[in-house]
Amino acid sequence: MKALTVRNIVVGALLLFLALVPVYSQMTGNLFLMTLFTRIVILAIAAVSLNLIMGFGGMVSFGHAAYLGIAGYAVGILAHEGVNSGFVQWPVALLACALFALVTGALSLRTRGVYFIMITLAFAQMIYYVGVSLDRYGADDGLTIYRRSDFGGWINLSNKTVFYYVCFGFLMLTCYLVWRIVNSRFGMVIRGARSNLRRMRAIGFPCFRYQLTCFVIAGVLCGLSGILLANHTDFVSPAVMHWTRSGDLIVMAVLGGMGSVLGPVMGAVALLVLEEWLPHAISVVGQFVTGKPVVAAKEYWALILGPMLLLVVLFARGGIDGLLEKIRRG
Amino acid sequence: MLLFIEQTLNGLQFGLLLFLLAAGLTLVFGIMDLVNLAHGSLYMIGAYFAATFAALTGSFVFAVMLALVATLIVGMAVEVIALRRLYGRDHLDHVLGTFGLLLFFNEFVRLVWGPAGLSLPLPSWLNTSFPIFPGVYYPTYRLMIIVVALAVAALLYLVVMRTRVGMLIRAGASNREMIGALGINIKLLYTFVFGLGAALAGLAGMMQAPILTVQIGMGENILILAFVVIIIGGIGSIRGAFVASILVGLIDTVGRAFLPDVLKLFLSNAAASTAGPALSSMLIYLVMAVILVWRPEGLFPAASK
């Protein structure tokens, strides 16, 4: 298993790269790169947490971005009311996510398949409109967070490098946790319930309880990502909960490959780097072809990204991870 | 009372518009088992076509007809080029693939028509009011939407339940291999169904266009409502989609109009004016969640597959 396959080399290289981003950034003075990758690492946490229920549990949630918003608003509202201590903010945010996941999960798990996708979407939409209606906290325009979570003298989240490593550490922790869960007895039940729920029930497992627990764990992990995101952008608005954000998270997981714990990390990196890099690539190619700078073409990066996603679905089943596996098999 | 009649009619009109969108979605979903997030893009494309042709020809009716044909062709082309290959795949693959299409269409429209919205002006003969009761006037155009949508619904019912093509569609929904084995060109049938759904979505878009502006992303929020409709109605059931879309249209419109006032009876003015809009936006999703908890397969579950 520990063989030096193409996939393992790529994954190892990616993790090494992620670990060294701040070093490179400091050396070249390219702070933008670090800001971009902080965002990528944070959203990768959300994608990994989604994949726990979606890839391993077969529970496709189309409302996962709700947790980004709930946790973000918990941090933002507490900060707005003068509570800056991270020791208060973080547990409150995670608890709020757990509660939301517990209630919506218990109701959603009564349904199956596409109905499950849509009921999770419905709950996320409800929270989205709650965010829109929070007049005291900026409503549609969002809420600026003037101070990042304060951990006394322990950790200074306002330092970009420190913050990056905090996020990276949490990503590694999340991946480790999900990996442990998936390979535990609990994880076996969850995976069993995905492949054949009726059989698992017949064996005598109370699958509902297992699935609900898994749903709550994923919600809390995504809440962690939401806390970090709010701290990263110093801002929270209903837009982070829009259904297209939930769609983005699904895209990351499917693009990277849902079969493994680290697949969504690759998906998050691929999607967000493409979003950032395609405009530049288009203008460079455009200049090469037409011989003059084409500024306007930059805007149309989605014209390429869209069909690209379609091609991945059509020809690379199992996402990037599946593609790398295929190379090994030849 | 007058306001109530007007809002109910508005709700009915919005519901019927939703039905046009949801009918195509539920057909594609029920028959090809395809989750199509790009359905809202066809709604948008329809509106853009109508606005363009109206500017070119100067005739509203003519523009709508041309736009219908154009949307039908775009829908069929999308099916043949891309979506045909997605049948029989996992729903997640559909979500990813059609999400890509949605991005593509948004950007494509921006490339062709520019980032600013268009408007589709009403001809003067539609821009009038019509007395539904003596003394009660209602915009003619909205009334026309109701009439046209009801006619389309009746036509759709006749086509699906009373014609040979409709029989094939229903047969294809229940057993794909069997109907193929009987010598029916199932691929062509699917392309036709998808084109039909696209044209219906386009029709909804172009009828909504004079009321709202034609802009990029106009299909995204209404798409989610259409999904709510087909989930409440039961996937694959046109009858369910019809009942559910009118239900959703009425609840949404009437809720938005009256919920803030109703809340004022129980809450302070300030609290009601804050909670009102939020609660009325949430209302539909609340209804959907309750219905799904109560009947996990929707109101009119299509015959089990």
Q: What is the CATH classification number for the domain harbouring A273?
A: 1.10.3470
CB contacts of A122 in chain B (<8 Å) are 228, 285, 288-289, 292
Best probe of the B interface among A73, A104, A115, by most B CBs < 10 A, is A115
**A181 part of a folded domain:** yes
Find, among A54, A28, A236, the residue nearest to A132 by Cα.
A236
Closest chain A CA to residue B105: A303
C-beta separation of A48 from A250 below 8 A: no
Total number of residues shown for chain A: 330
Find, among B183, B158, B194, the residue nearest to B72 by Cα.
B194
CB contacts of A105 in chain B (<8 Å) are none
Closest-CA distance of chain B to residue A140, Å: 11
Closest-CA distance of chain A to residue B16, Å: 21
Strand partners, A155: A151
Q: What pLDDT is attached to residue A74? A: 95
What is the rounded distance in angstroms from the CA atom of residue B220 to the CA atom of residue B196? Answer: 20
Find, among B74, B28, B6, the residue nearest to B169 by Cα.
B28
Does the complex come out with an ipTM higher than 0.95?
no
What is the rounded distance in angstroms from the CA atom of residue A302 to the CA atom of residue B198? Answer: 22
Strand partners, B214: B118
Number of domains into which chain A is organized:
1
Find, among B9, B11, B3, B5, the residue nearest to B255 by Cα.
B11
- Helices A207-233 and A31-51, packing angle to 10 deg: 170
CB contacts of A301 in chain B (<8 Å) are 107
pLDDT higher than threshold 90 for residue B209: no
Q: What pLDDT is attached to residue B148? A: 92
Find, among A15, A48, A33, the residue nearest to A267 by Cα.
A48
Amino acid at B64: V
Find, among A1, A7, A67, the residue nearest to A257 by Cα.
A7
Report the residue from A250, A299, A302 with minimal CB separation from B95.
A250
Neighbouring residues of A160: CB distance < 8 A, sequence distance ≥ 6:
A22, A31, A34, A35, A38
Closest-CA distance of chain B to residue A179, Å: 22
CB contacts of B97 in chain A (<8 Å) are 309-310, 313-314
Q: What pLDDT is attached to residue A135? A: 77
The top-level CATH class assigned to B2-294 is mainly alpha
Distance of CA A251 to the CA centre of its chain: 10
Best probe of the B interface among A54, A133, A137, A194, by most B CBs < 10 A, is A133
Q: What pLDDT is attached to residue B305? A: 40
**Alpha helix positions (H), B58-139:** 60-81, 91-113
**A225 part of a folded domain:** yes
**Alpha helix positions (H), A109-206:** 113-133, 160-182, 185-195, 197-203
Expressed as residue numbers, the domain containing A98 is 6-329
pLDDT tens, A269-302? 999 998 888 877 777 777 777 776 665 555 677 7
- Those of residues 101-120 in A touching chain B at CB distance below 8 A are 107, 110-115, 117-119
**A240 part of a folded domain:** yes
What is the rounded distance in angstroms from the CA atom of residue B130 to the CA atom of residue B239? Answer: 30
* pLDDT level of residue B304 (50, 70, 90 thresholds): very low
pLDDT tens, B27-46? 888 888 888 889 999 999 99
pLDDT higher than threshold 80 for residue B275: no
What is the rounded distance in angstroms from the CA atom of residue A313 to the CA atom of residue A290? Answer: 32
* pLDDT level of residue B303 (50, 70, 90 thresholds): low
Average pLDDT (B112-140) is 81
* Percent of all residues in chain B with a pLDDT value above 70, rounded to a whole number: 97
Q: What pLDDT is attached to residue A328? A: 64
pLDDT tens, A40-52? 999 999 999 999 9
* Percent of all residues in chain B with a pLDDT value above 90, rounded to a whole number: 28
What is the rounded distance in angstroms from the CA atom of residue A215 to the CA atom of residue A213? Answer: 5
Cβ pair A119:B86 closer than 8 A: no
| pLDDT under 50: residue ranges of chain A | 1
Instruction: Give me chain B's average pLDDT, please.
Output: 86
**A1 part of a folded domain:** no
C-beta separation of A300 from A282 below 8 A: yes
